[in-house]
Amino acid sequence: MSTDEPSKTSEHHGHEHHEVEGPGYPTPAAMRTESEREKTAFVMGLRVGMDVDEPDFVGVVDVDPESETYAELIDTIEMPNKGDELHHFGWNSCSSSCHAEGLMRDHLIVPGQRSSRIHVIDASDPRDASIEKVIEPEEVFEHDLSAPHTVHCVPGGKIVISMLGNADGELPGGFLQLDQDDFSIDGHWEVDRGDMEMNYDYWYQPRHGVMLSTEWAAPETYYPGFDLDDVEAGKYGDSIHVWDWETKEHQQTLTFGEEGLIPLEIRMPHNPEETEGYVGAALSSNIIRFWEGDGGHWEWETVIDVEDREHPDWDMPVPGLVTDTLLSLDDQYLFFSNWLHGDVRMYDVSDTGNPRLVDQCWVGGNFGDRQEVAGHEVRGAPQMLQLSRDGRRLYWTTSLFSSWDNQFYPDIGEEGSLMMKADVYPEEGRMELDEDFVVDFGDAPGGPARAHEIRWPGGDCTSDVWQ
């Protein structure tokens, strides 16, 4: 068993169904307080759009400070094909199946954003993982879907993946459902798509029978890179969608307009009793709070506005570009990244409608004070985030998407990106850059790579949902 896996004691502590053992933790508090410190990290490494004729990989990074290979890329699981553009990934099962018998958190579901190929990796031993199955793009296209994004394990023995386009890379997107036993495709998750066309990330609260999804754009729009004309032409999203988790029907659209252009990552509290959450609108650089109001009607408000900044090399004010958001497991702190500005922010959201900025860490980007850490030039800026389960270490990578990297931070495409870390002091409400922790994916075996999403073998803040 991995040292990242929960002990048998923690599996049972606080469990409401003692007769059944399942993967994960019975409560967010159990994951936060009873799990061991992370020892290894799975990190996406990709080569699309680089002068490296090698496939993408899932990297294994040593994050155990007691190890001789601490802060090193110690293994890579290479994909069998080139050009996948691995992006986001998830587990076959998580804490949402804590009360289900016979399941284990032992397989990573790894989609290729650009290829629509879906890989299944046996990760039961984090230091000796291997590809077990590949779902080829043609099998996905048969369901008139493409461009897989967010992977969530869900109750009932299924895995649901948000899909951003149809088989031709156009709108609409949808949701693909896989079987947890043999990883075969069941078909679409949704039975009534309503007026939802664009898709991106999603989160669900099974206790309240609700799911909410966000919008990026059609793959044919964002694949080539960012074009402001596409925004003006209405080709990028500005809405989120409310779904009935039980009937799988679209119920409501919340349209933000200029306040919520390109709403990407969506986070709801880990407390399964809550019916509210936050979404980061990348281009508008706002954090929008949403909640269930009277009569089951959902409402929203902008609670954080990152102001644009003037830059001598830009013809227009530079937006922060909020590209990732994350809630700590105790739901006290909200973290998000401003990829174009070059900072990651920490807000106290104990008063959910009035977030309070408590700290900010600048590194890289167009405005960051630090452009070099531990002798490594910072290529890009804080982007994909992952917090340790105990809330004391915030890790991030600096690559966003191949064509967007090459447009805004071309040095990533030439030399690869980085993984970094800040130490977090939740009791004091502050964080501090770890000047000694840098994993340079420019030194990856086979050539430079872009580092993207991070996952812990024992589950984390962005993969697990509780019932």
pLDDT in tens, 181-228: 999 999 999 999 999 999 999 999 999 999 999 999 999 999 999 999
Alpha carbon distance 453, 404 (integer Å) = 16
Query: pLDDT tens track of the chain, all 467 residues?
Result: 333 444 343 334 344 544 557 789 999 999 999 999 999 999 999 999 999 999 999 999 999 999 999 999 999 999 999 999 999 999 999 999 888 888 899 999 999 999 999 999 999 999 899 999 999 999 999 999 999 999 999 988 899 999 999 999 999 999 999 999 999 999 999 999 999 999 999 999 999 999 999 999 999 999 999 999 999 999 999 999 999 999 999 999 999 999 999 999 999 999 999 999 999 999 999 999 999 999 999 999 999 999 999 999 999 999 999 999 999 999 999 999 999 999 999 999 999 999 999 999 999 999 988 999 999 999 999 999 999 999 999 999 999 999 999 999 999 999 999 999 999 999 999 999 999 999 999 999 999 999 999 999 999 999 999 98
Side by side, which strands form the sheet with 90-91?
90-91, 107-111, 118-122, 130-135
pTM of whole model > 0.75? yes
Strands annotated E in 144-257: 146-154, 158-165, 174-179, 185-188, 202-205, 210-213, 239-244, 249-255
Element (H, E) at 138: helix 137-141
Q: Is 312 exposed, middle or buried (0-12, 13-18, 19+ CB in 10 A)?
A: exposed
The residues, ordered by sequence, that sit 6+ positions from 113 with a Cβ below 8 Å of its Cβ are: 84, 85, 86, 87, 88, 147, 148, 149, 164, 401
Tokens of 179: 């079987």
CA-to-CA distance for 139 and 228, rounded, in angstroms?
Answer: 34
Which residues lie below 8 Å from residue 227, measured CB to CB, with a gap of 6+? none
Closest CA to 458 of 17, 10, 164, 36: 36
pLDDT one-digit tens code per residue, 291-321 = 999 999 999 999 999 999 999 999 999 999 9
Quickly count: other Cβ atoms within 10 Å of residue 307's Cβ: 9
* Residue 462 tokens, joined: 């962005």
For residues 434, 337, 230, 161, the Cα torsion angle rounded to the nearest 10 degrees is: 100
Among 40, 44, 41, 51, which Cα is nearest to 446's?
A: 51
Nearest Cα residue to 381 out of 349, 340, 428: 340
